[in-house]
Amino acid sequence: MYLIVGAGISGSVLANLIADRLNEEVLIIDRREHIAGNCYDSKIENITVHKYGPHIFHTNNKEVWDYLSNFTKWRYFYLKPNVMIEGNRVSLPFTLKTLRELFSESMAERIENKLITKYGYGVKVPILDFQKSKDKDLNFIGKFVYENVFKNYTIKQWGLKPEEIDASVTARVPIYISNDARYFQDKYQAIPQEGYTKLIENILNHKNITVQLNTDYKDLPNTKEFKAIFYTGAIDEYFNYQYGELPYRSLKFDILTIDKEYYQKSVVTNYPNDYDFTRITEHKYFLDEKSNNTIISIEYPQVFSLGKNERYYPINNEKNDKLYNKYLTLSAGRSRESKKIENVYFFGRLGDYKYYNMDLAVERVLKLFKEIFK
Ligand code: FAD
Ligand code: UDP
């Protein structure tokens, strides 16, 4: 029998692969009282609520899409969030459309022409690139987006200055020289028709899989009997924090029922400069659920503190990645691809300490499975 720690999407997909393709038995445990990890959703008053924040599945990876499609039908869904800028609700990502929503026609047209001439249509330019620009308008727009979309949202979200965070995070909010108002441009974008929890339930529904909830790895009496252990929890916790704690970011969600049909015009509204929260999600939009009430969640970033809240985001930067790599050496792994301590493998958002979206988490598992059981 194999043991999998964590019944999030990473652990669950691996459980299914081992159970189904190898016809081997799997015990999968989770210390929470539910499956699905941070993708968990559940109904509150007939509305499917994403308990741990808005989750939109998006990928360019056909193998990942096809694999998950074995377990769910999809509702195609394009995230088109809004962002509050100086009291105006405008579209995000910052596109040519946003320019027109914010500025006079002549100004928007002038900047649009300069952007297209310099970078070309359909190009995503990281906002930091504009700071080097000698053109007054391009320099202005770079600074404007930095100040009004990026800077304070990032400080709130990460508790760090933008320059203290990995550039891949900043690159997630470019100026997109396009009229395409979708937040993601991936080929496949959808929400599982019956929700994420049902998707994970279907993945785990196999005669060779036993699910045990409310069970922490450290409380298992005997782990020697397992053929291998696959661990999707935090690697620093596994090694008893012997080199110190890896930093994570957490969140607090205020989930509120509002007594009107709709609260806001889009599923997600970001608040970079206003208030202490970063975004408000209105959940009925995900599956286009009808109801006289609506449910929103207000998202407040927090420091992760052991025993007080959950780990949501690894904070990837040079210092923290170095500490992670120290733990990796303990696990005798040489790279993120092959981390192994005797028969224990680490993966998932916490095990790899990587800011994975769901598709990358699944891609990692499909590769890991091939690597180990080829
Ligand atoms: P997790 O979901 O964290 O699962 C790990 C599980 O292990 C948890 O259930 C935990 O309880 C359990 N565990 C840990 N330690 C132990 C232990 N010692 N014993 C027993 N159990 C243990 N991705 C997208 O693709 N699109 C999105 O729109 C998106 N939005 C997001 C919004 C927010 C606010 C957050 C936080 C994440 C978002 N993600 C999104 C990312 C997505 O949540 C992750 O990619 C995915 O959850 C990773 O799954 P995982 O199984 O690796 O980790
Ligand atoms: N970001 C920002 N302003 C926004 C949206 C995002 O500055 O309005 C930055 C911020 O640093 C955030 C990162 O971009 O943490 C990634 O944003 P994304 O929406 O992808 O975050 P997630 O859904 O993973 O929390």
Ordered per-residue pLDDT tens for the chain, 374 residues: 999 999 999 999 999 999 999 999 999 999 999 999 999 999 999 999 999 999 999 999 999 999 999 999 999 999 999 999 999 999 999 999 999 999 999 999 999 999 999 999 999 998 888 878 899 999 999 999 999 999 999 999 999 887 788 777 777 778 999 999 999 999 999 999 999 999 999 999 999 999 999 999 999 998 889 999 999 999 999 999 999 999 999 999 999 999 999 999 999 999 999 999 999 999 999 999 999 999 999 999 999 999 999 999 999 999 999 999 999 888 764 344 444 456 889 999 999 999 999 999 999 999 999 999 98
Q: Which residues contact 342 (CB under 8 A, 6 or more apart)?
A: none
Q: What is the pLDDT of residue 216?
A: 98
> Does 351 lie in the same domain as 236?
yes
> Does 155 lie in the same domain as 19?
no
Q: What is the pLDDT of residue 137?
A: 96
Instruction: Tell me, yes or no, whether 126 lies in a domain.
Output: yes
Rounded CA gap, 329 and 217, in Å? 21
Q: Which two tokens stand for residue 184?
A: 């993601």
> Does 163 lie in the same domain as 198?
no
> Does 33 lie in the same domain as 111?
no
Residues in the ligand 1 pocket, defined by CB under 6 Å = 5-11, 29-32, 37-39, 52-57, 216-217, 232-233, 251, 312, 348-350, 356-359, 361
The verdict on pTM exceeding 0.85 is yes
Residue 11 alpha carbon, nearest atom of ligand 1: 51
Number of separate domains in the chain: 2
Q: What is the pLDDT of residue 77?
A: 98
> Does 229 lie in the same domain as 342?
yes
Whether 173 is in the pocket of ligand 2, judged by its Cβ within 6 Å, is yes
Instruction: Tell me, yes or no, whether 323 lies in a domain.
Output: yes
Residue 37 sits in a domain whose CATH number is 3.40.50.720
Q: Of 133, 152, 177, which one is at a domain's C-terminal end? A: 177
Instruction: Tell me, yes or no, whether 62 lies in a domain.
Output: no
Which residue, 231, 194, 217, 165, is CA-closest to 48?
Answer: 194
Instruction: Tell me, yes or no, whether 23 lies in a domain.
Output: yes
> Does 326 lie in the same domain as 229?
yes
The sign of the CA dihedral 255, 261, 264, 267 is: positive
Instruction: Tell me, yes or no, whether 162 lies in a domain.
Output: yes
Residue count of the chain: 374
Rounded CA gap, 168 and 21, in Å? 35
Instruction: Tell me, yes or no, whether 254 lies in a domain.
Output: no
Cβ-contact 94, 146 below 8 angstroms: no
Q: Of 177, 202, 232, which one is at a domain's C-terminal end? A: 177
Residue 169 alpha carbon, nearest atom of ligand 2: 13
Rounded CA gap, 181 and 79, in Å? 9
Q: Of 177, 208, 232, which one is at a domain's C-terminal end? A: 177
> Does 212 lie in the same domain as 157?
no
Residue 165 alpha carbon, nearest atom of ligand 2: 11
Instruction: Tell me, yes or no, whether 36 lies in a domain.
Output: yes
Instruction: Tell me, yes or no, whether 148 lies in a domain.
Output: yes
Å from CA of 8 to ligand 1 middle: 6
**Phi, psi angle pair for 179, to nearest 5°:** -100, 10
> Does 107 lie in the same domain as 136?
yes
Å from CA of 172 to ligand 2 middle: 7
> Does 166 lie in the same domain as 118?
yes
| H helix or E strand, kind and range, residue 365 | helix 358-372
> Does 98 lie in the same domain as 46?
no
Q: What is the pLDDT of residue 171?
A: 75
In a mutational test of the pocket of ligand 1, which residue from 14, 357, 359, 367 has the highest number of ligand atoms less than 8 Å from its CB? 357
Which structural domain range is residue 164 located in?
89-177
In a mutational test of the pocket of ligand 1, which residue from 41, 200, 232, 278 has the highest number of ligand atoms less than 8 Å from its CB? 232
Ligand number with the minimum distance to the CA of 312: 1
Residue 30 alpha carbon, nearest atom of ligand 1: 21
Q: Which two tokens stand for residue 124?
A: 């995503």
Å from CA of 81 to ligand 2 middle: 11
> Does 124 lie in the same domain as 209?
no
Residue 150 alpha carbon, nearest atom of ligand 2: 7
Q: What is the pLDDT of residue 332?
A: 60
Ligand number with the minimum distance to the CA of 147: 2
Q: What is the dihedral of CA 225, 229, 231, 234, to 10 degrees?
A: 60
> Does 318 lie in the same domain as 216?
yes
